[in-house]
């Protein structure tokens, strides 16, 4: 139970509430990130604390071939200035970025005038959300190559998207978001939410210092 005098985290349930919290938002960037789950393998167990426990029972669900281990995934939405505005619920590492975005219902709470930015994992975003302007890097066609203009456009998109990657990097300076997650899965979102709040506090302090 929260203590008296403390405010509960606000849940945005409509476009009107979203505009109240982010009145000047015109763009936001989405990106997914993963964290290893369980404990790393230990060849020789010297102390009880080094015992490799916490392996998921449903290994196939959590195993990520690209990472070579079991992972948990969370999606981060960031403003172009670097402020973290949304975290999705935790999912297994095998969940596709696009599926995680739809499941989070984030876009349904965003004003249609706001632009959505994503990496190549969000290709096809314009078909799912035609009411929004979506900006995603161009994929190289099979058996072909990108034109000079398309490569330059991708570079310009990357310059905007770097804000999301930098925000995730700041979060992963905390060991609880970077190293193997040994806690229960249901606590993963809570921990990441706390870290996001701390990162935003530091970000706002830096912005105020620059403006002073």
Helical pair 148-171 and 188-211, crossing angle rounded to 10 deg: 110
User: Can you give the pLDDT at residue 50?
Assistant: 45
* Residue recorded with tokens 């402020």: 83
Q: Identify which has the larger pLDDT, 13 or 31.
A: 31
Q: Would you list the domain boundaries of the chain? A: 15-138+148-211
pLDDT over 50 (residue 1): no
Residue 144: pLDDT band (50, 70, 90) is confident
Residue 194's DSSP bridge partners are none
Q: Identify which has the larger pLDDT, 152 or 39.
A: 152
Question: Other C-beta atoms within 10 Å of 162: how many?
Answer: 14
CATH class of 15-138+148-211: alpha beta
Q: Over the chain, what HEC string results?
A: CCCCCCCCCCCCCCHHHHHHHCCCCCEEEEEEEEEEECCCCCCCCCCHHHCCCCCCCCHHHHEECCCCEEEEEEEEEECCCCCEEEECCCEECCCCHHHHHHHHCCHHHCCCCCEEECCHHHCCHHHHCCCCCEECCCCCCCCCCCCHHHHHHHHHHHHHHHHHHHHHHHHCCCHHHHCCECCCHHHHHHHHHHHHHHHHHHHHHHHHHHHC
Residue 75's DSSP bridge partners are 32
State mean pLDDT over 88-115. 89
pLDDT tens digits for range 154-184: 999 999 999 999 999 999 999 999 998 988 8
pTM equals 0.78
State mean pLDDT over 5-26. 62
Q: Which long-range contacts (CB under 8 A, 24 or more apart) does 119-126 make?
A: 119/31, 119/161, 121/32, 121/96, 121/97, 122/30, 122/97, 122/98, 124/98, 125/98, 125/101
User: Can you give the pLDDT at residue 158?
Assistant: 94
pLDDT over 60 (residue 103): yes
Residue 53: pLDDT band (50, 70, 90) is very low
């Amino acid at each position: 139970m929260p203590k008296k005098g403390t405010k509960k985290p606000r849940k945005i349930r409509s476009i009107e509430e979203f505009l109240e919290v982010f009145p000047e938002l015109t763009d936001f960037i989405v990106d997914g990130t993963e964290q290893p789950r369980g404990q790393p393998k230990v060849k020789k167990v010297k102390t009880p604390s080094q015992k490799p426990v916490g392996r998921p029972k449903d290994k196939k669900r959590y195993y990520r071939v690209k990472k070579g281990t079991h992972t948990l995934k969370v999606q981060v939405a960031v403003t172009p200035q670097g402020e973290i505005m949304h975290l999705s619920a935790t999912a297994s590492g095998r969940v596709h970025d696009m599926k995680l975005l739809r499941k989070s219902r984030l876009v349904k709470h965003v004003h249609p005038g706001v632009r959505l930015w994503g990496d190549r994992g969000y290709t096809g975003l314009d078909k799912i959300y035609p009411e929004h302007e979506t900006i995603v890097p161009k994929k190289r066609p099979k058996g072909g190559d990108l034109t000079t203009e398309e490569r330059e456009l991708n570079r310009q998109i990357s310059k905007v998207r770097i804000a999301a990657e930098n925000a995730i990097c700041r979060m992963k300076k905390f060991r609880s978001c970077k190293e193997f997650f040994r806690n229960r899965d249901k606590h993963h979102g809570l921990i990441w939410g706390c870290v996001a709040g701390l990162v935003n506090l530091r970000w706002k302090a830096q912005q105020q210092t620059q403006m002073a």
